[in-house]
Amino acid sequence: TAVSHNPGDHWIAVLFGGPGQKADVFDSYGRHCKNRHIKAFLLRGSPDGYTWNRTRLQGSWSPVCGQYCVTYL
């Protein structure tokens, strides 16, 4: 993330389950992950795939994605 006086990055949260369980991805914008590096990371940790929330909780200019992720976890 960035220093406090600069814009930051968007946070997501990931929970990996046990063997045979899909990872669970939380994005406060309710978006499916499009970043190929994050997708590769998810599939390495969860070969059976992953699920994600589809409900948008955060406005476009809201800076609280980190708080949503911590609450989710």
- Dihedral, 59, 64, 66, 71 alpha carbons, nearest 10: -90
- Cα–Cα distance for residue pair 67/3, rounded to 1 Å: 16
The 3-state secondary structure of 56-68, one letter per residue:
CCCCCCCCCHHHH
Local structure of 14: helix, strand or coil: strand
- What confidence score (pLDDT) does residue 1 get? 55
- pLDDT (tens place) for every residue of the chain, 73 residues total: 567 677 778 899 999 988 889 999 999 999 998 899 999 999 999 999 999 999 999 998 898 999 999 999 9
